[in-house]
Amino acid sequence: MLMEQTIEKLHAMRLTGMAEALKEQLESTEISALCFEERIGLLVDHQWNWRENRALQNRIKNANFKLKACMEDIDFRTHRGLSKSNIIQLGLSNWIQSYQNCIITGPTGVGKTYIACAIGQKACRNGYRALYYYLPKLFRELEIASEEGKLNQFFNRLSKIHLLVIDDWGMDSLTNEQYRDVLEILDDRHESASTLITSQFPLKNWHDHIGNPTMADAILDRIIHNCHKIEMQGESMRKQKALKNKDKEDEKD
């Protein structure tokens, strides 16, 4: 009865991991062989691991990645211009600690979003907070925040994210106001946080695509310096997958 009360108190103090570990100890026939210091050490270790796992789950959930991607599942066999050593280095997240940026370019369907989400997920596993945005959705949320008079709060929240992932840059033409919003986001993060951007457009075409030379200079100046570049190549992975599935169906027929 006393132990049940103790477990209830541990839950009330939000020491769930320790409560679970104590239950396991009570059900174990071998735990009596351990001294008090060893048993309490196991309880503390279990609580620590429980808290770390819970924090990781929350970081991944809050990042809102488009794909459930991870570094271990990246396909390096298909020729896409990927350097395994470079991807592994990015997975260490040292570049995030140094407030550097990353740009992933390549034609549609080669897996830019997957690589970006995998790098972001690894950053979460390394203890960093990440946030994924498909660019049109980012502007929709900016518009909503502006209408509600909460634009400054929105910018402030983005500035505190260790890694901001912006997917599909350059797909649509932006207004001057939207470019100013992008500039403010990047300016808030300059030398204080990292940004990862994916685009179908080669980096050399970004300046002309933006159109406004002054705005283009300001935006690119905050992205390119200390930037890791991944230039992907090859045919659409989705197209190749569809062809393989069609071949399998033809074989069945």
pLDDT tens across 18-74, in order? 777 777 777 777 777 777 787 777 777 777 877 778 888 999 999 999 999 999 999
Query: Looking at the structure, do residues 72 and 183 belong to the same domain, yes or no?
Result: yes
Query: Looking at the structure, do residues 118 and 44 belong to the same domain, yes or no?
Result: no
Contacting residues for 209 by C-beta, under 8 A, at least 6 apart: 170, 201
Query: Looking at the structure, do residues 201 and 217 belong to the same domain, yes or no?
Result: yes
Return d(Cα 97, Cα 114) in angstroms, integer.
22
Q: Mean pLDDT throughout 89-108? A: 95
- Does residue 102 form part of some domain? yes
What was the pLDDT predicted at 38? 76
Query: Looking at the structure, do residues 55 and 126 belong to the same domain, yes or no?
Result: no
Return d(Cα 153, Cα 16) in angstroms, integer.
33
Query: Looking at the structure, do residues 71 and 48 belong to the same domain, yes or no?
Result: no
Structure tokens, 166: 């912006």
- Does residue 253 form part of some domain? no
Query: Which CATH number goes with the domain that contains 84?
Result: 3.40.50.300
What was the pLDDT predicted at 207? 87
Higher pLDDT pick, 90 / 7: 90
Q: Is the pLDDT at 196 greater than 70, yes or no?
A: yes
State pTM to two decimals: 0.81
- Does residue 168 form part of some domain? yes
Instruction: Of 160, 159, 169, 235, give the one whose Cα is nearest residue 196.
Output: 169
- Does residue 177 form part of some domain? yes
Query: Looking at the structure, do residues 213 and 143 belong to the same domain, yes or no?
Result: yes
Task: Give me the residue label for tokens 């020729």.
Answer: 79
Tell how far CA 39 is from the center of its chain.
37
- Residue 6's domain spans which residues? 2-62
How many domains, in total, are found in the chain? 2
Among 62, 93, 113, identify where a domain stops: 62
